[in-house]
């Protein structure tokens, strides 16, 4: 299997059904990303959605995932549990343009609700009396008996199978810098196995994947900068190039 192309990718774009919106005054339609959204085109391999807190990255990613058919709390397409129904109704105003090809594997990964996915896996495995356990596709060890980072990485390494559509929200939440680099390796393996990724992240390490599209959300609008032009990269670079001066400025008394 080779990398997907613009002719073979699973999701080509998402656009806002503006004619069905009567007001942008309430959440989530009042978020900057939604007010500025017409259509977002996705890279056939890897697309990153980046921006400061409050710009609507996770809300947008959740809306895309739910519009595709995923459970709002994450998991594969057949997960239908609900720990707390708190997701927005953004999916009702989004339309996905899908490619002619269909993914063989699917997963929506949310760092903040992955604990709930792990709990649901254990519940389902207790209920079934025959056949393979769901946890076996995650390496066979209870996700609750691993650290957050280990359980996150078990999903990336064991569960993701290739030829897949993977929508991932802030995977760096429990990953060390070394594990983030290892995740880049895994992303690359899966890309060369015909997978497409849409990832929301704050990590300059993760968003450094070569040839990926970066979509940056700001109060002024939506842009597609190079890695070195993103706020995350430039601020991190500035900090470590002149750490003492910046720390002095941050800690000085008024």
- Quote the mean pLDDT of the chain: 89
The band of 142, judged by pLDDT with boundaries at 50, 70 and 90, is confident
pLDDT reported for residue 228: 96
The band of 240, judged by pLDDT with boundaries at 50, 70 and 90, is very high
The band of 253, judged by pLDDT with boundaries at 50, 70 and 90, is low
Secondary structure (3-state) at 187: helix
Mean local confidence (pLDDT), 130-136: 76
pLDDT reported for residue 136: 76
- 4-39: b or e for each residue (b if 16 or more CB lie within 10 Å)? beeeebbbbebebeeeeeeeeeeebbebbbbeebee
Q: What is the homologous superfamily of the domain 11-227 according to CATH? A: P-loop containing nucleotide triphosphate hydrolases (3.40.50.300)
**Helix-helix angle 231-241:243-251, to 10 degrees:** 100
Answer whether residue 245 shows pLDDT above 80.
Answer: yes
pTM equals 0.91
CA distance 135 to 120: 10
pLDDT tens by residue, 17-56? 999 999 999 999 999 889 889 999 999 999 999 999 989 9
Tokens encoding 129: 């009396």
Tokens encoding 32: 């900057």
pLDDT tens by residue, 59-108? 999 999 999 999 888 888 887 666 556 678 899 999 999 999 999 999 99
pLDDT reported for residue 244: 94
Does residue 174 have a cis bond before it (omega within 30 degrees)?
A: no
pLDDT tens by residue, 154-190? 888 888 999 999 999 999 988 999 999 999 999 999 9
Asked if 163 and 105 touch (Cβ cutoff 8 Å), the reply is yes
pLDDT tens by residue, 199-211? 999 999 999 999 9
Phi, psi of 48 (to 5 degrees): -105, 140
Secondary structure (3-state) at 243: helix
């Amino acid at each position: 299997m080779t990398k997907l192309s613009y002719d073979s990718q699973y999701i080509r774009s998402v656009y806002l059904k503006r004619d069905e919106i009567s007001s942008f005054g309430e959440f989530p339609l009042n978020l900057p990303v939604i007010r500025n959204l017409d259509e977002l085109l996705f890279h056939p391999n890897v697309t990153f959605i980046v921006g400061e807190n409050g710009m609507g990255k996770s809300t947008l990613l959740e809306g895309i995932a739910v519009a595709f058919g995923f459970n709002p709390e994450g998991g594969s397409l057949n997960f239908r549990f609900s720990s707390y129904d708190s997701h927005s109704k953004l999916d009702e105003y989004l339309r996905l343009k899908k490619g002619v090809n269909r993914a063989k594997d699917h997963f929506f990964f949310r760092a903040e609700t992955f604990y709930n996915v792990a709990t649901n896996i254990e519940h389902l495995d207790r209920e079934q009396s025959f056949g393979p356990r769901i946890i076996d596709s995650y390496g066979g060890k209870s996700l609750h008996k691993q650290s957050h980072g280990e359980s996150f990485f078990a999903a990336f390494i064991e569960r993701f199978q290739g030829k897949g559509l993977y929508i991932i929200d802030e995977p760096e939440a429990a990953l060390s810098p070394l594990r983030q680099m290892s995740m880049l390796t895994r992303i690359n393996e899966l890309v060369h196995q015909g997978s497409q990724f849409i990832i929301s992240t704050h990590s300059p390490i993760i968003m450094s994947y070569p040839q990926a599209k970066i979509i940056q959300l700001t109060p002024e609008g939506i842009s597609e900068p190079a890695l070195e032009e993103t706020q995350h990269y430039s601020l991190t670079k500035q900090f470590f190039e002149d750490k003492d001066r910046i720390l002095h400025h941050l800690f000085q008394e008024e």
